[in-house]
Amino acid sequence: AQSVTQLGSHVSVSEGALVLLRCNYSSSVPPYLFWYVQYPNQGLQLLLKYTSAATLVKGINGFEAEFKKSETSFHLTKPSAHMSDAAEYFCAVTPGTNAGKSTFGDGTTLTVKP
Amino acid sequence: EPEVTQTPSHQVTQMGQEVILRCVPISNHLYFYWYRQILGQKVEFLVSFYNNEISEKSEIFDDQFSVERPDGSNFTLKIRSTKLEDSAMYFCASGRGQPTYEQYFGPGTRLTVT
Decide: helix, strand or coil at residue A9.
coil
CA distance B5 to chain A (A): 11
**pLDDT of B8 higher than 80:** yes
Mean pLDDT over all residues of chain A? 93
The reply to whether A106 touches chain B by the CB within 8 Å rule is: yes
Q: Do A99 and B48 lie within an 8 Å CB cutoff? A: yes
A16 vs chain B: nearest CA distance in angstroms?
27
Closest by CA position to A99, among listed B34, B44, B66? B34
Instruction: Report the percentage of chain B scoring pLDDT > 90.
Output: 82
What 3-state DSSP class applies to A83? helix
Name the band, by pLDDT with cuts 50, 70 and 90, for residue B110: very high
Q: Is A114 on the interface with B (CB under 8 A)?
A: no
Task: Give me the residue from A32, A34, A90 closest to B42, CB to CB.
Answer: A90
pLDDT digits (tens, 9 = 90+) for B40-67: 889 999 999 999 999 999 999 999 999 9
pLDDT of residue A64: 97
Q: Is A98 a residue whose pLDDT tops 80?
A: no
CB contact, 8 Å: A33 with chain B? no
B21 against B51, higher pLDDT: B21
Distance between the two ends of chain A, CA-based, in angstroms?
Answer: 41
pLDDT for B40? 86
For residue A49, the model assigns a pLDDT of 92
pLDDT digits (tens, 9 = 90+) for A37-57: 999 878 889 999 998 778 999
Q: How large is the average pLDDT for residues A12-22? A: 98
> Is A107–B30 a contact, with Cβ atoms under 8 angstroms apart?
no
User: What is the spatial distance between Cα A81 and Cα B70, in angstroms, rounded to a whole number?
Assistant: 45
Q: Who among B31, B91, B100 is closest to A99 (CB)?
A: B31
- Do A86 and A37 contact (CB within 8 A), yes or no? no
Q: What is the DSSP annotation of A51-81?
A: -SS-SEEE-GGG-EEEEETTTTEEEEEESS-
Interface contact flag, A102 B55, Cβ < 8 Å: no
| Interchain proximity B103–A94, CB inside 8 Å | yes
Cα A3–A8–A36 angle (5° rounding)?
60
Pairing state between β B109-113 and B10-13: parallel
Selecting from B45, B107, B108 the residue whose C-beta is nearest the C-beta of A102 gives B45
Give A1's pLDDT tier (boundaries 50, 70, 90). Answer: confident
